[in-house]
A and B are shown apart, each in its own frame.
Chain A
């Protein structure tokens, strides 16, 4: 009896020893950090003196801030709602094309993945140079547009670049999803006399739905937090036309001369709530779509 209990205790201790590194990091940088972020969002904190309790003061500041309402919030939504659909559609079409028995598939696969291999900073530096006033893009098309310094174009260059870099990876995810669909399903449909279009609508599309949900969720969470590209390419300019919520958080917490950690924390909590809400709505939309025609 005692040996049995001893064995159980040893087992439990071993278990905790194995998860200890993860548990330490998880507790420090996820659980504690989350609580701390919430606490900070209710304070005024400039790093020099200790945080001062401020109730909803920070939230009030955020929600009456012009830069937030007129630039960061609409820009972020615009970014998500342009980039996510476009890159999903492009990568889906590419995946369907790759799923056919075409020649040179491996070569195409390698080429499509190349943009994802480069870091966000490197690809941003390359695009800054491509779209400079005397850059390659203008030279090829005989234009003289200052792409990244023009309120009407800067944000779209960044969006285009994001679509360019992520479509390859998303294509690979869709492709593996397409190839996971059991061939027996297609065979059964053929026996039942379904034509190609019906097979596509009633087998391929529904079978791909979980992957579609996954890809869109990950893309939405990622694009809502876009930062690197904006930092390198425009620093939120020109005239704040590329300032997004994450960039504004960075600006308030680390860039402005008066540090506003509390206000930045409040904005990060608001962003998290927006992301959770959008993910939830999107889940309802995709799952609620049922098996109707697409």
Chain B
């Protein structure tokens, strides 16, 4: 008797605690979510307000309203400062070319790993998995040398013949594009997808006398649309925002991408911060539009990143 009563007491306090938690749970969670939502929105909101104020009134109150109101900073971004459109174009070229090529190459490699028998396949796939875990910073310097001057400056001299050891792509958009046209994660993602996909459709196409390449382009690519869009969005966002490689490779202002340009512009014209912020929001806009158009795919892409280990 004496032994059971404290135990049951214990249990009831525990039940009480759980009951109490169940009652206050909803308000607690709503408060948390609201607080974090405010934290997320505040910096972007103030940036927008500031970018819509004339530079000379930048710090005149009120802080939270764009009064007086002007589009002048956005006009500067577009018309007065001719490098901005150039940076926008460079960013777009890099992001679009990388996205198109990466989606195609990852789908091709993924399809081969999932469906075609070729020597050393297992070994190569394991190498791919290992390369996914490799910290990118290790290959930063060699990558730079290979894209640029090469590991032997001036190339290898064989009599008259000079064999270059680098791509000579310093200060060229191609230098940013080349190493990124395919990536391990994309290949892995497509491999997993094609492995889980029923073979029947392709087999029917092969029966009709279609070649592997024909089948791939006419049957396989169209049915993997969702995966391809997901990979494309993930790639586009990553390339549009990429910083370190373009910073090292692109040297002259007219070849900068928008992030590099904005950073450079801040160094040159520190007092024009309203223009920098207008340009910053402009850099965000395309991704924001893509996000709202394809929200489902963005969420999906994050879910796939998470479940690859699980």
A-to-B contact residues, CB < 8 Å: 8, 11-16, 18-19, 21-23, 25-26, 28-34, 36-37, 40, 47, 50, 90, 93-94, 96-98, 100, 102, 108-115, 117-123, 125-130, 134, 136, 139-140, 164, 167-169, 172-174, 176-177, 180, 195-197, 210-211, 213-215, 217, 221, 224-225, 227-228, 231-232, 246, 249, 253-254, 261, 264-265, 268-269, 271-272, 275, 279
| A109: chain B residues within 8 A (beta carbon) | 299
Q: Are A34 and B139 in contact (CB under 8 A)?
A: yes
Size bin of chain B's contact surface: 35 or more
| Interface presence of B78 (CB below 8 A) | no
Q: Are B280 and A30 in contact (CB under 8 A)?
A: no
Other-chain residue from B146, B262, B298 in contact with A28 (beta carbon distance below 8 A): B146
Q: Tell me if A's interface is mostly helix, strand, loop or mixed.
A: helix
| A228: chain B residues within 8 A (beta carbon) | 243-244
User: Can you name the residue of chain B whose Cβ is closest to the Cβ of A109?
Assistant: B299
Q: Are B307 and A114 in contact (CB under 8 A)?
A: no
User: Can you name the residue of chain B whose Cβ is closest to the Cβ of A15?
Assistant: B118
Q: Are B146 and A118 in contact (CB under 8 A)?
A: no
User: Can you name the residue of chain A whose Cβ is closest to the Cβ of B58?
Assistant: A134
| B43: chain A residues within 8 A (beta carbon) | 115, 123, 126-127, 130, 164
| A123: chain B residues within 8 A (beta carbon) | 43
Q: Are B241 and A120 in contact (CB under 8 A)?
A: yes
Spot the interface stretch: B68-76, B119-127, B197-205. B119-127
Other-chain residue from A18, A134, A227 in contact with B111 (beta carbon distance below 8 A): A18
What's the minimum C-beta distance from B13 to chain A, rounded to whole angstroms?
12
Q: Are B137 and A164 in contact (CB under 8 A)?
A: no
Q: Are A117 and B30 in contact (CB under 8 A)?
A: no
A220 to B305, CA, bound (A): 16
Q: Are B309 and A119 in contact (CB under 8 A)?
A: no
User: Can you name the residue of chain B whose Cβ is closest to the Cβ of A228?
Assistant: B243
Q: Are A177 and B307 in contact (CB under 8 A)?
A: yes
Q: Are A11 and B117 in contact (CB under 8 A)?
A: yes
